[in-house]
Structure 1
Amino acid sequence: MAGTQVVVAYTDYKSPYAFLAKDPTYELERDCPVRLDWRPYILDIPSYLGSARVDNAGTVLEQDRNAHQWRRVRYSYMDCRREARKRGLTILGTQKIWDSALAAAGMLYAQRIGDAVFRRYHDTVFERFWKRDLDIESVNALAAVLSQAGADGAGFAVEADALRDEAVAISRAAEARGVFGVPTFVVADEIFWGREHLPEIRAMLASA
């Protein structure tokens, strides 16, 4: 469409902040003359928040975090759950640091099929993962989600490794651009980190 701008939206399924940004980002495309270009950015959480594994009761089984990192992690979940309650969403703390590269590969696969399939996949992966109802490291589990979304799940299983490499390459390119976290939005080469910038992005689009 003439006059339509592109907003690049970087996301990662293992980020609760990216989950909370998903629907408001959809609304940006609904309300403004903009096309969203969703891209994966695979977070390396242990590099800045350490790592840990807990059981169903929240007992720490193993961990590599200092006290400051634990405080940040606990606050992050408290902050996200506070917002999630307002919107009727469920965010259960993860029991380990997940590798989301395969889920990002599924995102790329869904996008090739079309917007409707992508959105069904995107919504389902986020919602089920944060209910602890989806193994995002399982090719078969993600292939099943893709099939339910209207794609060829068996085809994804064949292409998963190559698409995973592509998702990693997109993440490295994002870092070269200055991206370091999610959700991150890029508008006319200007970077915005965090969903709190969406009103500012709306204003920019309206005045363009």
Structure 2
Amino acid sequence: MLSVFIDFKSPASFLALDPTLALAGETGVHIKWLPFSVRPFSIPEEKADETVGERHRRVRAIAQRDTHLHYAKVQGREMHFSQTPAGSEVALAAMAGLDGDPVPFIRAAFAAYWTEQADLGDEAVVAALLSSVQTSLPDPQSAGERLVSIRSEAEELGVFESPSYVIADQLFVGREHLPWIRSLIEAGKVA
């Protein structure tokens, strides 16, 4: 089994979805999708008196955004960055409480966030997404408790960013490790 920790507001998680699903389809590995909240991606505003460090962080964030946009174009996906990133906590809690295949909801949530800048921290928005994939809203209290439990488990594993992959007791941060993960699967090192 391949555990994959994602956050809908993470551009890297959005871009990892299709390659991860392709890997699963090609190798037959079962994916356990897990929510993991990270800080929203943002580009610091330019200041007239910014320090070298502040300028470096701003320029690096711009380059990172441009790289994400490039990979979205390569994947044929629409992707828009918002000036004021929205939340994702309600959608992550809903994901934690889902029974069955979460992929239709995951796809809908990513599309809503990255093409429409939907606020996935809004219960009405998340309820509409769940309805669109014919899934009902899980019990908020138990879903919230499950989200806290998953985060605790993730932190014990060393997860600090999304996407993160855990396979064969090894942690990999970022989709760039999918070839290495594939080699573990093909070598039969997956429990």
1:175 and 2:163 matched? no
Query: 1:97–1:133: structure 2 CA closer, same or farther, 3 Å change rule?
Result: closer
What is the RMSD computed on CA atoms of the aligned residues? 2.4
* Correspondence for 1:135 among 109, 112, 119: 119
Question: 5+ unaligned residues in a row in structure 2: which ranges?
Answer: 48-52
**Contact 1:121–1:145 under 8 Å retained in 2:** yes
Matched residues, percent identical? 28
Q: What amino acid does structure 2 have at the position aligned with 1:88?
A: G
Counterparts of 1:197 and 1:95 in 2: how far apart (Å)? 30
* Correspondence for 2:36 among 34, 41, 47: 41
**Contact 2:15–2:72 under 8 Å retained in 1:** yes
Residue aligned with 2:22, SS: helix
CA positional deviation for 1:97: 4.0
* Correspondence for 1:190 among 154, 164, 170: 170
1:99 and 2:87 matched? yes
CA positional deviation for 1:132: 2.7
Residue aligned with 1:34, SS: coil
CA positional deviation for 1:76: 1.5
**Contact 1:101–1:164 under 8 Å retained in 2:** no
Counterparts of 2:43 and 2:145 in 1: how far apart (Å)? 23
1:19 and 2:3 matched? no
Query: May I ask how many residue pairs the two structures share in their alignment?
Result: 183
Counterparts of 1:51 and 1:207 in 2: how far apart (Å)? 41
Question: Structure 2 length normalisation: TM-score?
Answer: 0.86
Q: Which residue of 1 aligns with 2:185?
A: 205
Counterparts of 1:191 and 1:76 in 2: how far apart (Å)? 23
Question: Structure 1 length normalisation: TM-score?
Answer: 0.79
Residue aligned with 2:78, SS: coil
Q: Deviations over 1:5-54 (max 9, x none)?
A: x0110100000110000011111221113110111111135xxx7886x9
